[in-house]
Amino acid sequence: MGKIISFMHISLDGFVAGPNGEMDWIKINDEIFDFVGKRISTGNTALYGRKTYEMMEGYWPTAADKPNASKHDKEHSKWYSKVHKVVLSQSLKNVKLANTTIISEHLSEEINAVKQQTPNDILLFGSPTATHALIQQNLIDGYWLFVNPVILGKGIPLFKDVQEKTALQLIGSHTFDCGVIELNYLVNQKE
C-alpha cells in the first residue's frame, strides 16, 4: 500500500512560500535535482493541489522539447508524462484529463483508495492548501522536506491549524553543498 509523502521546500522558520506565494528563495541545483530524481523515478503516482497541478501542466509536458532543455528538464518531463497524477480540486470537478484522477469530495475515502491501488510512495508535490487539507484528516504518512538556509519571517506555513501533536521518525537526511538540508520523516502510527 502506498504512503502519502509531502515533498516540500521549506524555510528555516517553517514557511513553504512567501506571503504572496513567492518561491524565489528556494535553492535548486543539479545536486538536488539528481537526488530528487532518483527517488521520484521509482514512483508512478504524484499528488497535487489544483494550483500546483496547473503550474506543472503548463511547463512539464513540453519542457524536454525546448532547445535549451537541461538534463533535469528532459528527465522530469519524461517522468511527468508517464506518472499518474491525482489532483485535489473543487473547481476541476467532472473534468476528464488524461492519466489524471480528480478528487473533489470524500477526500479520506478517495485518498485511501488511491493508497490501496499504489504500491509505491505517492509524492504530494508542493501544494500547501492540499497538504493542509490532508494534515487535517491525518492522511499524510511522511514528510520529505528540503530545509533552505533562509528565514522568511512571514508567508504560507507548512503546518497550519494542526489540531494534535504528531510524532515523526527521521529515516534519512542529507546535506547539500548549497546549504539545503533534506529531512525525510515518517509519521509514527497511532497506538
The confidence band for 190, taking pLDDT boundaries of 50, 70 and 90, is low
Identify any residues that bridge with 45 across adjacent strands, giving them in sequence order.
84
Residue 164 lies in a domain: no
Pure H helices in the chain: 30-40, 50-57, 60-63, 71-82, 107-117, 128-136
What is the reported pTM?
A: 0.91
Quote the number of domains for the chain.
1
User: Does the pLDDT of residue 191 top 70, yes or no?
Assistant: no
Residue 117 lies in a domain: yes
Question: What is the reported pLDDT for 96?
Answer: 78
Give the integer Cα–Cα distance in Å for 173 and 185: 9
- Per-residue pLDDT tens over the stretch 159-177: 988 878 899 999 999 999 9
- Per-residue pLDDT tens over the stretch 146-158: 999 999 999 999 9
Domain region containing 58 = 22-151
Mean pLDDT over all residues of the chain?
A: 92
- pLDDT above 90 coverage of the chain, percent: 75
Question: What is the reported pLDDT for 149?
Answer: 98
Residue 39 lies in a domain: yes
Residue 165 lies in a domain: no
Domain containing 77 — which CATH number? 3.40.430.10
Q: Say whether 5 sits in a helix, a strand or coil.
A: strand
- Per-residue pLDDT tens over the stretch 62-119: 999 999 999 889 999 999 999 999 999 988 876 778 889 999 999 999 999 999 999 9
Residue 187 lies in a domain: no
Residue 101 lies in a domain: yes
155, 75 Cβ separation under 8 angstroms: no
Mean pLDDT in residue range 14-27: 95
Residue 158 lies in a domain: no
